[in-house]
């Protein structure tokens, strides 16, 4: 973590909560949690993230976690790729599917609507914008307007989070801690 305040600058009450997390999880507090707990009245991305990732949607939780991992791959954010591929893998109970999607979207064993949507999110993330034709291609793959909006919400959140993780220098936790984090995210979400 490149800023000491994100490691040690929390209020006493928050420090106590983080100490409890350490004790009960048996793992160090991950950097994403330290960021989420720091000055929540300034950044406080939790409610937006939770709504995008766990709010009502025709996309499954596993699909949205895979979108998060895919956007994070385009942003070259190893912390978020690791966390959200673990969460997606746990939800689908299919490691090969997630790994293949991140390796080669064209040949990955996923449904066409999800593939077209991930392609759109990849372009948006890489080029910082979309044209109407990009959207029409996704609509033509039997993705609804609501599903496109929901996917764009995931992209909004992870285009923020990836930048923060990279800029603040988040450390990737051990595989055990990553899986514990994934279990927590599936059980409780992001609030």
Partner 1 sequence: MPEIAQLQRELVARVLGGDGKATPELRRAAFENAGFGEPIRTLIEKVAERSYQVTDGDIAAVRAAGLSEDEIFEIVVCAAVGQASRQYASALAALAGAVEGKAGQ
Name the site residues for partner 1 (rule: CB under 8 A).
Answer: 2-6, 9, 38-39, 41-45, 47-48, 51-52, 55-57, 75-77, 124-125, 128-136, 139, 145, 148-150, 152-153, 155-157, 159-160, 162-164, 166-169
Nearer to partner 1, 101 or 155 (CB): 155
Task: Report in angstroms how near the CB of residue 186 gets to partner 1 at its nearest.
Answer: 19
Q: How far apart are CA 162 and CA 145, in angstroms?
A: 25
- Judged by CB, which is closer to partner 1: 21, or 48? 48
Minimum separation from the CB atom of position 174 to partner 1 (A): 22
Using CA atoms, how far apart are residues 156 and 179, in angstroms rounded to an integer?
A: 24
End-to-end alpha carbon distance in the chain: 22
For the chain, what is the radius of gyration of the CA atoms?
A: 17
Cβ distance to partner 1 smaller for residue 52 or 69? 52
Rounded to whole angstroms, how far apart are CA atoms 46 and 185?
12
| Nearer to partner 1 among residue 24 and residue 42 (C-beta) | 42
Residue 107 beta carbon to partner 1: minimum distance, rounded to whole angstroms: 25
Q: Between 166 and 179, whose beta carbon lies closer to partner 1?
A: 166
Contacts of 24 (CB under 8 A, 6+ apart): none
The secondary structure of residue 21, as a DSSP letter, is: H
Q: At what angle do helices 145-168 and 46-54 cross, to 10 degrees?
A: 140
3-class secondary structure, 170: coil
């Amino acid at each position: 973590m490149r800023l000491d305040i994100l490691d040690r600058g929390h209020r006493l009450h928050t420090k106590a909560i983080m100490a409890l997390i350490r004790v009960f999880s048996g793992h160090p507090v991950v950097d994403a949690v330290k960021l989420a707990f720091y000055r929540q009245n300034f950044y406080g991305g939790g409610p937006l993230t939770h709504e995008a990732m766990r709010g009502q949607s025709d996309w499954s939780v596993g699909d949205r976690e895979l979108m998060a991992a895919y956007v994070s791959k385009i942003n070259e954010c190893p912390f978020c790729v690791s966390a959200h591929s673990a969460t997606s893998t746990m939800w689908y109970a299919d490691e090969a599917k997630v790994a293949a999607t991140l390796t080669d979207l064209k040949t990955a064993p996923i449904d066409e609507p999800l593939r077209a949507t991930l392609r759109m999110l990849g372009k948006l993330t890489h080029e910082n914008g979309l044209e109407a034709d990009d959207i029409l291609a996704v609509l033509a793959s039997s993705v609804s307007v609501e599903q496109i909006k929901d996917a764009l919400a995931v992209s909004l959140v992870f285009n923020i989070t990836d930048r923060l993780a990279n800029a603040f220098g988040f450390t990737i936790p051990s595989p055990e801690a990553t899986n514990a984090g994934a279990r927590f995210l599936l059980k409780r979400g992001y609030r």
